[in-house]
Structure 1
């Protein structure tokens, strides 16, 4: 663990107590277009028309012009939806809009692609635009499970897409997998991990299926057609961590594993409570002392951007204590843990005595360990990271309620 932590600290900028110019700045672009909605997906998306794609690009350009860009951008991430739904020429146009606001060349530029959307033409445009990292949503190699999730790609498309991405020469490739799927057995999941590892990706994300409201899977859960099994999920978590370690991948967050030099900088910067600018309908932002999101509706977002408005949803003025709370909640999900010292300096008004008591209780329960000012979850703690986060949130409630 010490080697992994040192490598992570060396690969990214450390937290500045006063928000200096060296602090990372990210851009997230939400491309809301998708051919169909997967049963598990709760992200805003819609089937596009040619006119909507054109107006989406215009909206991104207008919204980016509304931002007071404080310093050069260090990471870019395009998600969705499916950015690969855009035609090669359109991808290039979007890249030009984004690159014009970066103030230089981002150290990392990630684009999410579905296997069925990967073509040589799209990859060439992205590579030439400066994209360094491709994240491909595989989910499973089992045809029956892909069908049950509502995924539109096949096992064969995964292999073809991966070969094309590798041939295109991107610096880093990630594969997304999901476990605890309805009907999925433990051997099937272990087989999916082996299959993914055999391809040799630089990074793997393994997500436990969650049931988000307003999704088809949520409806099935409410109808009793599928059931939750926390003990089974915990067993799959532990088996995955062991299997990934044996395959030579270092775990750096509960669900994320990487070979040396291939951690996702954009996600690390987000978990460490640095700043990022969200562009597009439903995109979240955290910069300029505020956190908020864009409305999850293409037409309403276009109207608001046309009026010079953005970050209109769940808008919150960020206090140092609020940032410290989130830094602890999200930071504990990372294997490196959280150094409390800079946050104590940055947010002296936070209820640190209550927080310390909570951390001591969690440590006594075997859920975390402390090394000086650094706190980390144990293996047992990572299995219940969400519950630990809820305890930390409760410890900060006095300051949150009076803020």
Structure 2
């Protein structure tokens, strides 16, 4: 981020001067999260969730590495190794519960981060690359979480792997070969578990690498803000430290309180009881359901129940499920409005709060419900609107709506239009 008024790093201590000369890591940190990184002065707590996502990613990596030291990726003993971690490893129960619920919290903060991006149009120029990298991170998260859910080798783990990998069998011609290649056989077994464990261990480090690119891309145009107005001068910004490190610290404290309430008092609340039964290929659960963070896309998958024009319903469901995320890549070009913030787009705001948000809530609910009426019909209605919102409503609204007047600057939005107040002077010269 190249603001001419950004403070230059000036190390005072001889050791820091030596470090900055030989390996400018202190300068990098200073320019990334210190006083050398100016940010808009009007960021709300919705801008905390990027930092929270980064924290929970590191938390998942650390707890996952320790758990991997005690886990056995073998179908005959995988379930028992989880029980060993829970009962015999010192603080193993805490590590396991923290890792499992950490995944849920990771998705919670990322979902909020994404929907904040939808509302404030964080995908618009000049921040398209930040958004595109964010979508890549989300896809990698989904893959990592799915493979991690298989590792306990309980009933829901086994049958979840069976159902999800069978989706690739719907691909014409090569589908069955891809499914066998993914599983290492014709059904989930030892080869599948080894593959999923290897990838589940590897992918978080890939995510970390993409996150570094994501942050790098963010520092080029700078952070967005609730008004959508670009920074004009020094009065529009404050240093990231100490202003936003304090604000992010408070947000992290609140998140950790909620997280440890879940870990210590409701550790299995977001899980499924069937996963405490060892995997049995001969006993199909009455209701196969993935983890809650997959529910909206699982609902989209199940919304297709009949073949259309010789296209199998299963194939259409798979295509729709993947398209539901992949079309986020095209949002920078689907939304043509010159105004970013939903605060100044009255028609967009109505469709967001009364269209997209209820639709996603309905998809979450139907994804966790049994595959029966009325949930299937509700899934079909919600799926239809979901795609209409992004592919039809959003482009049309961006062309026809009349935005409200924008403030002249970020400072004006914060302090008002009184020029003397904007400059930090008293309105009355006699004062």
Q: Which TM-score band applies after superposition, normalised by the shorter structure?
A: under 0.3
Structure index of larger Rg: 2
More strand by share: 1
Task: Tell me the TM-score normalized by structure 1.
Answer: 0.25
TM-score (norm 2): 0.24
Which one scores higher on RCO, CA 8 angstroms, separation ≥ 6? 2
